[in-house]
Amino acid sequence: MSVRRITVAVTAALLGLAVQGTAVAVPFAAVTVPQSWEYQAMGLGEAQQTAQGEGIKVAVLDSGVEADHPALRGRVTTGPDYLQDGLQAGDPEWGGHGTAMASDVLKVAPKAEILSVRVTNDDEEKMEFVKGSPIARGIDYAVDHGADVISMSIGDELLGSSYNGDEAAALARAAQKGVPVLASAGNDGDMFNDAQYPAAYPGVIAVAALQQNGSRADFSTVRTYNAVAAPGVAIMSAKNTGGYATIDGTSPATALTAGVVALMLSHNDEVTPAQVRTILTSTARHPSGGRNALVGYGTVDAAAAVRGAAKPPADETAPVAYKGKQFLATPDGTPKTKNAPLDTTMVGIGLGAAAVGLLMVIGGVLISRVGRRPANAVGSSG
């Protein structure tokens, strides 16, 4: 075990009293999620012959995880609920999405541990205002409590609509501690050109979704920051109310890929976040041209990724001093993550003048049409 992981383990032990919930009680889940087509598509059978996620903790930042589901029992530690929206475990509206994601992680890495941190609601339209960023707090909690991988199948609508400085800082702390972070690319297809967070943050491994024929699923968001892709259609997953159901989305694609990272780390716990990204992207089955905005570097190959983790490439990432020109500006207090307010005075005058001009044009057209109207137009059928 590396010094980094020993330190994390000791810290987690010292902070153990602060963890909400129960610890892992059995070696591995007694029931596995029924297989879907992703086993063959990702080469999971071969990968699991080498590693199964032993000793790796995957933090699932989501809507909560029903730890008593047969596919999850004994594998889940429940962390804090940063929403505090009144919902609790056992409520049908609590933990639907998160339970499915945790089961998808364990489908790939059956001997991994899950740390559940609740940062979102299954129905984002019902989310109440929460002071601060639940995602940022969830990332920090996961890092402080021994997470080896962070999986965030979240975004769209209320969550993921804009850059958040607290979240970026928390992700930087995760990188500093050597914790790789994955996030779903989103389910907006190619309809919009807005970046989605947390997938768009630097250092995050954004995962797109594939359909059974190996091409991008129609709903999978198209962005240049997409790193890799994984199966995301008809993925059999656990239900928070019991049993199983198939789900679609970049969410299961991300959870499956997080499971692959857990396999990699259980095979070699010295692999850094930068090396994880390099191995995933270099061993993926590349699309024509090597990569594109649809599926990044292509389909995750779990077997090849685990083999690559045994002898990872050199990690040359390190802080570098800026040596370019310095441009000083007046310190007006404007946050670096926001644009300065627009002076709308001249804009208002321009819009007013444009409106007057448009009304004049419309009036002229109407007068012209009346002047040319034929005499038999009124009351005539043709």
Strands (DSSP E) contained in the chain are 57-62, 76-81, 113-118, 149-152, 181-184, 205-210, 226-231, 235-238, 244-247
**Structure tokens belonging to residue 66:** 């029903």
- Element spanning 302, H or E: helix 302-310
**How many C-beta atoms surround the C-beta of residue 66 within 10 A?**
26
Closest CA to 114 of 73, 65, 153, 58: 58
What are the tokens at 211?
């359909």
| Cβ proximity of 298 and 285 under 8 Å | yes
Q: What angle do CA 249, 67, 110 make, to 5 degrees?
A: 65
Strand partners, 133: none
Q: Both tokens of residue 54?
A: 């032993």
Report the C-alpha gap between 357 and 325 in whole angstroms.
47
Q: How far apart are CA 42 and CA 284, in angstroms?
A: 9
| Three-state secondary-structure class, residue 125 | helix
Chain-centre distance for alpha carbon 256? 12
Cβ pair 38, 61 in contact under 8 A: no
Which whole-number Å values give the CA distances from 164 to 117, 141, 155, 196, 204, in the listed order?
A: 19, 17, 13, 11, 14
Distance between CA atoms of 247 and 104, rounded to whole angstroms?
A: 11
Burial zone of 113 (CB within 10 Å; 0-12 exposed, 13-18 middle, 19+ buried): buried
Q: Which positions are annotated as active-site residues?
A: 62, 97, 251
Instruction: Please list the residues that pair with 117 across neighbouring strands.
Output: 61
The residues that bridge with 230 in the sheet, in sequence order, are 209
